[in-house]
């Protein structure tokens, strides 16, 4: 009897220890990766079940270039931007499988840039994989990803370090192992600094008000590319083609429409060749036609009216918010003309999301306006903000702030040139205006609205 009691206590202690260890590991999992990597998929989990008509996937091009709230407000299409930086179609495939656990969309939309994103870019997988729930999809994803990396490194003898490395199955599945050094350095405040609200009011879309003109036209880009690089025949990597067809089969099995698109991206080609050159378009069109996949290219097949000087944020690689509004409108027109979507009744939280979006939309457009008459017209319709202005010689200064949050909404000066005014936003104090904070931080204002709205 004594032995049995002792044996029973040992079993209980082992079970308690194992349970406690699992809880600690799970808790560390939620605290062992940074916001950019984790919150995109985390916020998707907070969407109401079966509340989406469409899900958008792909790299940073649709992440910054398609606004789901524009599609919802103007076309009644409820969708989510489940995109991430450098997302390959392998990542898209597993993100779709995870999304279909809680959603029943009528359409999956994928930006074609993902067909060319290398699977070998380990860090790109973590944006989705790290935040996934520990379930069969994540285990399958981690297994096949580590299998791919193992095949790539087959000449390296295995050792303990390789077993727990970031591209191993264990290291891929448990980010706490990969980030153990960072976790050990975290302060108490960092451990408990999770956001109060995990919803995405913009449905996964990243709003960016910066304006940096494209540095080359589409024709110039293709001419420079052809004269610089010899790979005239760009091929979709074999593993990417394989996962694109897996996505097609998955959509067919679930009765979901599949559409590949391309968000415009043009400028001087760089070493990574990330701009959407004509050779990529041709290869993509051929692949989609051969495999009976719907495809619409918003650079080479449809002109969406982009302004090369004002609709990009980094020299032509990504659209800014102004460009995203145009891209979303073109996509909305195309979707309404080619697909039918069921009407979805949303909870009151969507109304709160819409209110936040409209406020951010207003200030983001203001902070990206470069034409003085248009800027002054927008100021006349701006409500709830303080506007300070001053004119010195040939320069007009404006400082726009939110009196409640204290956030700077815009800090700009317009200087007369030969026949027009040049717009400058460089964070420098404007003469004659008491600035306080001089830089515009859109995301600071976003966080204030989110914290005060939910």
- Residue-wise pLDDT for 428-439, tens only, equals 554 444 444 344
Ranges 207-221, 237-251, 410-424, most confident: 237-251
Report the pLDDT averaged over residues 385-405: 90
Query: Given the DSSP bridges, would you call strands 107-111 and 257-262 parallel, antiparallel or unpaired?
Result: parallel
Instruction: Report the share of the chain in percent with pLDDT over 70.
Output: 76
Question: CA nearest 367: which of 444, 258, 255?
Answer: 444
Q: Per CATH, the architecture of 36-117+193-338 is what?
A: 3-Layer(aba) Sandwich (3.40)
pLDDT of residue 353 exceeding 90 = yes
**Structure confidence at residue 6 (pLDDT):** 63
pLDDT band of 426, cuts 50, 70, 90: low
Q: Is 273 helix (H, G, I), strand (E, B) or coil?
A: coil
How many CA atoms does the CB half-sphere of 415 hold within 13 Å?
A: 5
**Structure confidence at residue 430 (pLDDT):** 47
pLDDT of residue 214 exceeding 90 = yes
What whole-number distance in Å separates Cα of residue 78 and Cα of residue 344? 8
CB within 8 Å of 118: residues ≥ 6 apart: 88, 237
**Structure confidence at residue 447 (pLDDT):** 85
The gap between the terminal CA atoms of the chain, to the nearest Å, is 58
pLDDT of residue 59 exceeding 80 = yes
**Structure confidence at residue 65 (pLDDT):** 97
Question: CA nearest 229: which of 283, 270, 285?
Answer: 270
Mean residue pLDDT across the chain: 83
Q: What is the torsional sign of CA 270, 275, 280, 282?
A: negative
Mutual orientation of helices 122-129 and 136-152 as an angle, nearest 10°?
A: 170
Burial of 414 (0-12, 13-18, 19+ CB in 10 A): buried
**Structure confidence at residue 230 (pLDDT):** 66
Q: What phi and psi values does residue 212 have, to the nearest 5 degrees? A: -135, 115
Q: What phi and psi values does residue 306 have, to the nearest 5 degrees? A: -70, 145
Report the pLDDT averaged over residues 29-43: 60
Burial of 179 (0-12, 13-18, 19+ CB in 10 A): buried
Question: CA nearest 60: which of 210, 200, 205?
Answer: 205
pLDDT band of 320, cuts 50, 70, 90: very high
* CA dist list (Å): 416 to 373, 375, 388, 410, 413: 13, 15, 19, 19, 10
How many CA atoms does the CB half-sphere of 133 hold within 13 Å?
A: 12
pLDDT of residue 252 exceeding 90 = yes
pLDDT band of 276, cuts 50, 70, 90: very high
**Structure confidence at residue 157 (pLDDT):** 42
Residues forming CATH 3.40.50.1110 domain(s) in the chain: 36-117+193-338
**Structure confidence at residue 187 (pLDDT):** 53
Lowest mean pLDDT among 9-13, 147-151, 276-280, 390-394: 9-13
**Structure confidence at residue 355 (pLDDT):** 92
Longest dimension (CA), the chain: 100
pLDDT band of 175, cuts 50, 70, 90: low
Lowest mean pLDDT among 122-126, 147-151, 349-353: 147-151
What percent helix, strand, coil does the chain show, rounded to 5?
Answer: 50, 10, 40
Q: Are the CB atoms for 182 and 33 separated by under 8 Å? A: no
pTM of the model: 0.85
């Amino acid at each position: 009897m004594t032995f049995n009691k002792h044996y029973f206590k040992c079993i209980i202690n082992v079970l308690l220890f194992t349970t406690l260890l699992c809880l600690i590991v799970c808790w560390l999992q939620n605290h062992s990766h940074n916001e950019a990597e984790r919150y995109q998929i985390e916020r998707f989990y907070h969407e109401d079940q079966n509340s989406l008509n469409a899900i958008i996937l792909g790299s940073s091009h649709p992440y910054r270039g398609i606004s789901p709230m524009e599609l919802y407000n103007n076309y009644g299409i409820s969708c989510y931007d489940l995109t991430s930086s450098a997302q390959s179609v392998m990542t898209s495939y597993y993100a779709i499988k995870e999304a279909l656990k809680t959603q029943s969309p009528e359409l999956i939309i994928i930006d074609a840039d993902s067909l060319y994103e290398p699977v070998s870019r380990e860090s790109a997988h973590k944006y989705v994989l790290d935040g996934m729930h520990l379930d069969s999809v994540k285990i399958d994803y981690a297994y096949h990803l580590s299998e791919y990396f193992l095949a790539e490194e087959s000449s390296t003898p295995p050792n303990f370090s390789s077993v727990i490395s970031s591209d191993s199955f264990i290291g891929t599945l448990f980010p706490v192992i990969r980030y153990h050094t960072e976790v050990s350095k975290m302060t108490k405040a960092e451990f408990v600094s999770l956001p109060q609200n995990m919803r995405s009011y913009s449905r996964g879309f990243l709003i960016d008000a910066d304006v940096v003109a494209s540095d080359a036209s589409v024709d110039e880009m293709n001419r420079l590319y052809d004269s610089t690089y010899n790979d005239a025949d760009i091929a979709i990597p074999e593993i990417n083609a394989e996962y694109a067809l897996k996505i097609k089969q998955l959509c067919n099995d679930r009765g979901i429409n599949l559409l590949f698109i391309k968000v415009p991206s043009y400028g001087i080609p760089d070493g990574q060749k990330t701009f959407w050159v004509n050779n990529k378009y041709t290869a993509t069109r051929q692949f989609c036609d051969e495999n009976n996949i719907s495809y619409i290219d918003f650079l080479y097949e449809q002109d969406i009216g982009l302004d090369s000087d004002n609709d990009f944020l980094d020299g032509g690689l990504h659209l800014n918010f102004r460009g995203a509004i145009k891209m979303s409108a073109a996509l909305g027109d195309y979707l309404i003309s080619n697909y039918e979507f069921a009407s979805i009744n949303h909870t009151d939280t969507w109304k709160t999301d819409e209110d936040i979006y409209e406020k951010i939309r207003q200030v983001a457009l203001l902070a990206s306006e470069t034409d003085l008459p248009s800027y002054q017209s927008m100021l006349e319709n701006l409500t709830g903000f303080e506007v300070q202005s001053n004119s010195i010689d040939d320069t007009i200064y404006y400082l726009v702030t939110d009196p409640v949050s204290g956030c700077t909404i815009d800090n700009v000066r317009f200087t007369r040139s030969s026949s027009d005014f040049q717009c400058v936003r460089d964070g420098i104090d404007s003469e004659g205006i008491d600035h306080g904070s001089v830089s515009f931080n859109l995301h600071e204002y976003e966080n204030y609205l989110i914290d005060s709205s939910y």
